[in-house]
Structure 1
Amino acid sequence: MQIWLNDKAHHVESAVDLSSLVEELTLPSESVAIAIDGQVVPRSQWPQTPLTDGLKLTVFQAIAGG
């Protein structure tokens, strides 16, 4: 399946929901936020949010600094 990840086409191997996508991409789940069509999906809903072909996701990573 192909999704759009931060405006770039990305082929998904085995992920079926947002939680498994975070694992597949080896992202640190505690420091990322994911939006679908501009709407942030709460982390608690990642396992229930299915991936579909052509889905447009934006991944934001927390940056610490001062």
Structure 2
Amino acid sequence: MKTVTINGQPREVAASTAVALVDELGLPAPTVLVELNGKALHRSEWPTEAITEGDVIEILRVSAGG
């Protein structure tokens, strides 16, 4: 387990990649955007972007509206 900050809150996570983190949090991947340490990640980067101790992560839920 490692401590990261997700949306401003410290949290213990086991995930080692962005894709694993989204899965661990139970979020539907097609509806979220992930920013890791200030860098917006393209979904194709999720499997290779490592999550490490102290990372700052922002996860935004996307919703359609009109």
- Scaled by the length of structure 1, the TM-score of the pair is 0.92
The Cα shift of 1:38 comes to 2.4
Unpaired segments of 5 or more residues in structure 2?
none
% identical aligned pairs: 31
The 5-angstrom pairing of residues 1-66 of structure 1 reads: 1-12=2-13, 14-66=14-66
Structure 1 runs, 4 residues or longer, greater than 4 Å off? none
> What's the Cα RMSD here?
0.9
- Scaled by the length of structure 2, the TM-score of the pair is 0.92
Cα distance in 2 between the residues matched to 1:51 and 1:37: 10
Structure (1/2) with the larger helix percentage: 1
How many aligned positions are there? 65
* CA deviation map 1:15-63 (0-9, x unaligned): 1100100110000100101012322111001010011001001001102
Unpaired segments of 5 or more residues in structure 1?
none
